[in-house]
Chains A and B, each alone.
Chain A
Amino acid sequence: MEYGRLSAVLPSDGILNVPTEFFLIDDLPAEACYELRLDVNAHCKFALHLGRQGRKIRRQVTFALCGTNSRLDAHVLIQAATNQRIEWQGIQRHLVPDANSNLLIKSIAGAGARVSITSKIIIDPLAVGSCAHFRNKNLVISSRAHVIARPELEIFANDVRCSHGAAIGGTDPAEEFYLRSRGIPPPAAKTILKRAFAEEILRQIPDDDQIIGPPNKIANEY
């Protein structure tokens, strides 16, 4: 599988055709808008970590599955620290039959942060046999954080398998209690839980200090 950074491979019109197996990492600046088009049999792995690009971060991303048997596996981690504003607007668009897309977005919202996630699955009438899934999990770690999730579906063909799910919540008190009962102080327990939450995405991303920093550092930022 080829490996690339969007800042290096994205053309000026913001549309990138993904021809074969490709692992893309979004390392664009704070505000960016682009479209990834998957051709026939293309397999795109996509990873994005949002949170270090600035105070206000915004992404508008379209994943267009234009080729049959194309496949997308996308992972996005959003870490909104104190008073940060992060907005994600994504579309998984299936235009042809038998394509497959999976998108997982996890966010962690700190004090005064605002995270807004809108993600839509669109299945065109010709895209029979499509399989599209979107999952969104949001961890709120401050009473002053604000999270808005809008998972949307627009299905225009019936022979498809589609689902979406979104959840917003704080850390599980039972898990915190478990760690504290084993002698781990409350801040460290919270950090462990945050790191565990982010782990599912972090393990998809190559360990690259410039892009994401080591996992320990991410989890200890709050």
Chain B
Amino acid sequence: MRGDPPMDEEFATPGNFSYATEYAHDAGRGVREETVRYISKVKGEPRWLLNFRLRALQIFETMPIPPWIPVDLTPLQFDQIRCYLAKNQESKRRWEDVPAEVKATFDRLGIPENERKFLAGVEAQFDSEVAYSNLRRSFAEKGVIFVDSTEGLLQYESVFRQHFGKVVPAADNKFSALNSAVFSGGSFIYIPKGTKLDQPLQAYFRINAEQFGQFERTLIVVDEDAEVTYLEGCTAPRFESSTLHAAVVELVVMPRAKVQYITVQNWSSNVYNLVTKRGIAHESAEIRWIDCNIGSRLTMKYPCVVLAGTHARGEMVSISVAHHGQYQDTGAKMIHRTSHTTSHVTAKSISIGDGIAAYRGFTQAMKGAKNCKNYTRCDALMIHPESVSKTSPTLDVRGDLSRVQHEATVSRVSDEQLFYLRQRGLGEDQAMGLLVNGFLNELLREFPMEYGVELKRLIEMEMEQR
């Protein structure tokens, strides 16, 4: 996410750097029982987790691919995907201890620099395992836990097991079943009661290998009256073959707690990004998903908030940019399970070239839930005549005491706007970049400043490539 890094000779284009590397652990190709047993054995997991994985594998094998998936998944070749590639089993606490080539990758992404500047803790995942994980001492002393999921499972089993797989069960969908069977890496975070982190925690997910599947699993438990902001960034190099990213994120937000989960993904165009994200907000708790999806061949991501306690609040802010040949199928789910809950969704999408940007949403006010309020707004901007935009929300309301609203508009950059800016001396690309940033500006302000600036630059670069 750092802008304009100096180019090393071995890296051809910015953000596209990759190199051959040796792995100590390789589960081979395909998703089979041996793969699952290998991962579990290498990680030294308890019996209950192996059984959980094997059950999930059965579900994955029997569950069909949902018929509504908009893109042919044949290029993924599940029997050719490598599910587990790791250099080591333990994440390093000191940056100096991280293997040189892994360090080189993350150095270029600006991780140590950002950690010093504005982060409370950092985790960096390279393919299947977390290479580096560190939390500031002051937060560790308050009882904050920020480790990779394997360490969380082995060292904090009681908390981990209590919530693991409860928010997103293995049978939720085919890809959550796949993740449950072969997951590795991801974060486990626990914020104790009353602890408010004034600086964000951050995770970087990097895919380096070809024909690889990254299946990280993140579990965040925020205890009563606590607050945390979690940032995740994702990148991968460009290969001829397809790469799969099938993550699962579970948030458990206790009464009066707040979580802000920010994702900035800039996947290369060979990545299929099929992610399940869901959080449960208990009484007066708040969950905010802030999502920016750029890149990937196909992204299917519908972060969900289950509003399980009264006065709980859910929010989704989503930006997606679909370039040539890309399909951004994003959206949000808001499930109002109890009374006096509110949710808000704002989604903006941009289609460039023959890119397809789709919003798929679901808002439900369940039986007996009273005074639930939801407002959803989707705006789509289409840059070229061949661009495509789709919107398909579902509003499902039982009872007469809730209010649910959805609005959507589709428009293009008008010739008059372009003419006005060009008349004032801007080139066509600059003018288009400015107009697109203007369209997104309201949402870009929701990101931390450092990210917002980088995102603006990234979107300008996307517009230059159009």
Residues of A within 8 A of B (CB): 125, 128, 138, 140-171
Contact = CB atoms under 8 A, between A and B. Distances in A.
Contact of B400 (A140, A151, A165): A140
B41 interface: no
B398 interface: yes
Interface stretch (B89-97, B232-240, B406-414): B406-414
Contacts of A148: 394-397
Interface string B378-398: 001011111111111111111
B390 to A, nearest CB: 5
Contacts of B154: none
B410 A162 contact: yes
Interface of B: 351, 380, 382-412
A140 B399 contact: yes
Contact of B404 (A125, A150, A155, A169): A169
B401 A159 contact: no
Nearest to A141: B400
A147 B408 CA distance: 20
Contacts of A171: 400
Given A153-B408, A159-B412, 12 more contacts: A145-B399, A153-B392, A154-B388, A158-B384, A159-B385, A160-B410, A162-B410, A163-B409, A164-B408, A166-B405, A168-B395, A168-B403
Contact of B406 (A142, A151, A162): A151
Given A141-B400, A143-B401, A170-B401, A165 B408 contact: yes
A140 B410 CA distance: 29
Contacts of A128: 385
Contacts of A143: 399-401
Nearest to A117: B395
A158 to B, nearest CB: 4
Given A146-B398, A163-B410, A155 B388 contact: yes
B395 A162 contact: no
B395 A164 contact: no
Contacts of B380: 155
Contact of B386 (A125, A142, A145, A153): A125
A198 B412 CA distance: 34
A187 to B, nearest CB: 15
Nearest to A122: B390
Nearest to B381: A158
Contacts, number: 111
Contacts of B388: 154-156
Nearest to B360: A152
Contacts of B391: 151-153, 164
B385 A151 contact: no
A37 to B, nearest CB: 24
A177 B412 CA distance: 44
Nearest to A144: B399
Contacts of A155: 380, 382, 388-390, 410
Main secondary structure of the interface of A (DSSP, over half): strand
Nearest to A165: B407
Given A146-B398, A163-B408, A165-B407, A152 B392 contact: yes
Most buried by A among B384, B390, B391, B396: B391
A130 B390 CA distance: 16
Give the one of A145, A154, A158 with max B CB within 10 A: A158
A167 B392 contact: no
A169 B406 CA distance: 12
Contacts of B410: 153, 155, 160-163
Contacts of B398: 145-146
8 contacts: A128-B385, A144-B399, A150-B394, A152-B391, A153-B391, A155-B388, A167-B404, A170-B403
Contact of B405 (A125, A158, A163, A167): A167
10 closest A-B pairs by CB: A170-B400, A158-B382, A169-B403, A153-B391, A140-B400, A168-B397, A158-B412, A149-B395, A167-B405, A165-B407
A30 to B, nearest CB: 24
Nearest to B395: A149
A149 B398 CA distance: 12
Nearest to A152: B392
Q: Which of A138, A144, A148, A166 has the most CB atoms of chain B within a 10 A radius of its CB?
A: A166
Given A159-B412, A165-B405, A150 B399 contact: no
A76 B280 CA distance: 38
Contacts of B394: 148-150
Contacts of A158: 351, 382-385, 387, 412
B409 A162 contact: yes
A161 B411 contact: yes
Nearest to B390: A154
Given A143-B401, A151-B393, A161-B411, A166 B406 contact: yes
Nearest to B351: A158
A163 B408 CA distance: 5
A71 B76 CA distance: 45
A147 B397 contact: yes
A147 B399 CA distance: 8
Nearest to A143: B399
A75 B392 CA distance: 22
Contacts of B396: 146-148
Nearest to A167: B405
Given A140-B397, A158-B382, A168 B402 contact: yes
Given A158-B412, A162-B410, A163-B407, A146 B390 contact: no
Contacts of A168: 395, 397, 402-405
A154 B395 CA distance: 18
Contacts of B411: 161
Given A142-B400, A143-B401, A157 B385 contact: yes
A24 to B, nearest CB: 28
B320 to A, nearest CB: 15
A128 B351 CA distance: 16
